[in-house]
Amino acid sequence: MEQKLYYTDERNVQIVISLLKAYGIRKIVASPGTTNITFVGSVQQDPWFEIYSSVDERSAAYIACGLSAESGEPVVLTCTGATASRNYYSGLTEAYYRKLPIVALTSHQGNYRIGHLIAQNIDRRKLPNDIVKISVEAPIIKDANDEKMCTIEVNKALLELKHHGGGPVHINLFTNYSKNFSVKELPPVRVIHRYTAFDSLPSFPEGKVAVFIGSHKKFTEQETEAIDMFCGTHDAVVICDHTSGYKGKYQVQASLPFSQTQYNSPNRKYDLIVHIGEVSGDYSGIGVYGTSVWRVNEDGELRDLWGKLTDVFEMPESHFFNHYSEEDKSLHSNYDAFIDELNQLHSELPELPFGNIWMAQQMSKILPEGSELHLGILNTLRSWNFFEIPNSVDGNSNVGGFGIDGDISSLIGASLCNPNRIYVGIFGDLAFFYDMNVVGNRHVGNNVRIMLINNGRGTEFRNYNHPCHAFGENADPYMAAAGHYGNKSQNLVRHYAEDLGYEYITASCKEDFKEAVKRFLTPEMTDKPMLFEVFTDSKNESDAIEFVNNFKVDTSAVLKSKVKKVVKEIIGDKGVETIRKIIK
């Protein structure tokens, strides 16, 4: 008796099929083969699809062109793994120049088999420029991260069928040749929608809303007003760090509450996060949780920071915010609650050891009005994100590429634009010495003020919560790169700075720092640029971070965490997941 077959158990194939259905793509031109059997065997039993057969893949591609052009619908091509896909080239070239929405779904054994004389294993990693708009891979899924990647990549390809005029796309679908076709229903899959300013936009969902801004160019007054009006309409908050550029009514710095390991912030969870801006260096702030995420950016790309992306709005941010706003509303209860929490946490913050965080705490309140602040990545940016800075002060950090190699040069470059504005830079010793040649540039003006926090190493690698901490002092020689650049010499930077015409200031303890910083942050323009070298200790830096991350304790949260850990040890991860499903 013939066994009834359903969908394959290969999850990546299931994702492709589910998304084809979600995007309304029915038509398929299938060519015979073994490598594509998990896909073809699955769709042929699903009456939702409209399938045509073509032995000749070159002909199949042209059949798809005609079928798509006449119907106005996308068409899927599916073939096996050997030279079959090469025969798609001419038809896809036709589709590319006519902007026909063809999905070339080629099947593959896996990139790890390329180049080892394994039969029927064609390398498709590089394609001609004019046969498809985008080429993605749908790999075998082994864990949740693979599933997220596969979901995003397939969404990305299918969205491109109509994007910017449309055209053909390529999905390289991996297979293990599973013979299991017992899955009766396709598991749910996340569909991502893209909208432009010319589309009918979706209705706004109910629930708690936050705007999250990564690094961002400076907002105009009109753009800020649009965000404020949106927040007033939906009782939203704007989660920022010092690179976000937003100085409106609803900004909150989330680093301090979100960094806590023994306390769960009540302001951490939202039904919707509206994500704008680019890379964020605020690792704690990224810990915000949203049930779904809307990404707003003119590039229209799928930037899935949290793995919750559902909608992309390819339009100016102001257009989005104005569309979903009402002028006569000014709700702010969620903002007020967040500010209350921040004020409470800052009032409870203990006295910290002498180091980057303590200095940020002192300096953030007294930065010169109208100045610009440049922060080194990681330890310095983290330290300053725990504290507010004046609204008149702009913040910057090289979080795009996230490297230490040009932080001071970026500061100097910015300072050249406005000689009458004070530019303050805070950098660790590795970043400073990496980029120290620019300190001697003849264009440096007296509006530049550089603080060098010299702890003799990459102190990030010695922090209590860094993987290198396990090595102790053995992390210093090669991972933390300790002992270079004079090994905390008291004279090296002094001579360098003074010989180059800088005013040199130094401090090695809290008392000296409090006196010296008054000069460093004087609001008056000085005769010379300044270089303020502060000597700190890596242990103090690490202790300070540990204090900040653990000073707030919620006993119920700690107990819950301990119970969860014990349960995991007894029944394992799968047991925990089973219990979750039962509760749901």
What CATH number has the domain bearing residue 281?
Answer: 3.40.50.1220
328 near 233, Cβ under 8 Å?
no
pLDDT in tens, 145-161: 999 999 999 999 999 99
Looking at the structure, tell me whether residues 277 and 130 fall in a common domain.
no
Q: CA–CA separation, 296 vs 312, rounded Å?
A: 6
Say if 89 falls within a structural domain. Answer: yes
Q: What is the pLDDT of residue 115?
A: 67
Say if 534 falls within a structural domain. Answer: yes
Looking at the structure, tell me whether residues 242 and 164 fall in a common domain.
no
Residue 371 identity: S
Write the CATH number for 153.
3.40.50.970
From the list 431, 261, 254, the residue with the least C-alpha distance to 338 is: 254
Looking at the structure, tell me whether residues 222 and 368 fall in a common domain.
no
> What's the CA dihedral at 394, 400, 406, 411 to 10 degrees?
-10
Say if 253 falls within a structural domain. Answer: yes
Banded pLDDT at 269 (limits 50, 70, 90): very high
Average pLDDT over residues 553-572: 65
Q: Output phi, psi for 496, to 5 deg.
A: -60, -50
Q: What is the pLDDT of residue 489?
A: 93
pLDDT in tens, 37-55: 999 999 999 999 999 999 9
Looking at the structure, tell me whether residues 485 and 566 fall in a common domain.
no
Banded pLDDT at 568 (limits 50, 70, 90): low
- What average pLDDT does the chain have? 92
Q: What is the pLDDT of residue 460?
A: 87
Looking at the structure, tell me whether residues 250 and 117 fall in a common domain.
no
Residue 212's beta-bridge partner residues?
A: 239, 275
From the list 132, 130, 110, 129, the residue with the least C-alpha distance to 121 is: 110
What angle in degrees, to the nearest 10, is found between the helix axes of 144-160 and 11-22?
30
Q: What is the pLDDT of residue 174?
A: 92
Q: Sign of the CA dihedral 213, 216, 220, 223?
A: negative
66 near 17, Cβ under 8 Å?
no
Between residues 464 and 133, which one has the greater pLDDT?
A: 133
Looking at the structure, tell me whether residues 22 and 122 fall in a common domain.
yes
Q: Which of 346, 376, 400 is the last residue of a domain?
A: 346
Q: What is the pLDDT of residue 54?
A: 96
Looking at the structure of the chain, the number of domains it has is: 4
Q: CA–CA separation, 368 vs 361, rounded Å?
A: 15
From the list 378, 372, 457, the residue with the least C-alpha distance to 411 is: 372
Least confident of 311-315, 327-331, 571-575: 571-575
Say if 200 falls within a structural domain. Answer: no
Residue 314's beta-bridge partner residues?
A: 196
504 near 497, Cβ under 8 Å?
yes
**Is the pLDDT assigned to residue 122 strictly greater than 80?**
no
Say if 204 falls within a structural domain. Answer: no
Q: Sign of the CA dihedral 300, 302, 307, 310?
A: positive
**What's the start-to-end Cα distance of the chain, in Å?**
39
Q: CA–CA separation, 304 vs 300, rounded Å?
A: 12
Say if 201 falls within a structural domain. Answer: no
Say if 203 falls within a structural domain. Answer: no
Helix/strand/coil for 238: strand
Looking at the structure, tell me whether residues 238 and 305 fall in a common domain.
yes
Q: What is the pLDDT of residue 576?
A: 57
Q: What is the pLDDT of residue 574?
A: 59
Q: What is the pLDDT of residue 31?
A: 95
Q: Which of 314, 346, 378 is the last residue of a domain?
A: 346
Q: What is the pLDDT of residue 494?
A: 97
**Is the pLDDT assigned to residue 84 strictly greater than 90?**
no
Q: What is the pLDDT of residue 339?
A: 97
Looking at the structure, tell me whether residues 562 and 468 fall in a common domain.
no
Looking at the structure, tell me whether residues 356 and 341 fall in a common domain.
no
pLDDT in tens, 498-544: 999 999 999 999 999 999 999 999 999 999 999 999 999 999 999 99
Q: What is the pLDDT of residue 2?
A: 65
From the list 132, 139, 123, the residue with the least C-alpha distance to 97 is: 132
Looking at the structure, tell me whether residues 406 and 504 fall in a common domain.
yes
Give kind and range of the element (H or E) at residue 515: helix 510-520
Least confident of 6-20, 187-201, 279-293, 551-565: 551-565
Average pLDDT over residues 287-312: 96
Say if 356 falls within a structural domain. Answer: yes
Q: CA–CA separation, 85 vs 200, rounded Å?
A: 38
pTM: 0.89
Q: What is the pLDDT of residue 584?
A: 45
Average pLDDT over residues 58-80: 96
Looking at the structure, tell me whether residues 318 and 373 fall in a common domain.
no
Q: CA–CA separation, 411 vs 413, rounded Å?
A: 5
**Is the pLDDT assigned to residue 303 strictly greater than 80?**
yes
277 near 215, Cβ under 8 Å?
yes
The percent of residues above 90 in pLDDT, for the chain, comes to 82
Burial class (CB within 10 angstroms; exposed 0-12, middle 13-18, buried 19+) of 282? buried
Q: Which of 346, 378, 403 is the last residue of a domain?
A: 346
Banded pLDDT at 412 (limits 50, 70, 90): very high
pLDDT in tens, 443-483: 999 999 999 999 989 888 888 888 888 898 999 898 988 99
Looking at the structure, tell me whether residues 298 and 447 fall in a common domain.
no
The whole-angstrom distance between residue 90's C-alpha and the CA centroid of its chain comes to: 38
Half-sphere exposure of 419 (CA within 13 A, CB side): 6
CA distances from 210 to 10, 173, 241, 499 (A): 37, 37, 14, 50
Q: What is the pLDDT of residue 145?
A: 93
387 near 361, Cβ under 8 Å?
yes
Domain of 393, in residue numbers? 350-548
pLDDT in tens, 241-258: 999 999 999 999 999 999
pLDDT in tens, 179-221: 999 999 999 999 999 999 999 999 999 999 999 999 999 999 9
pLDDT in tens, 99-108: 999 999 998 7
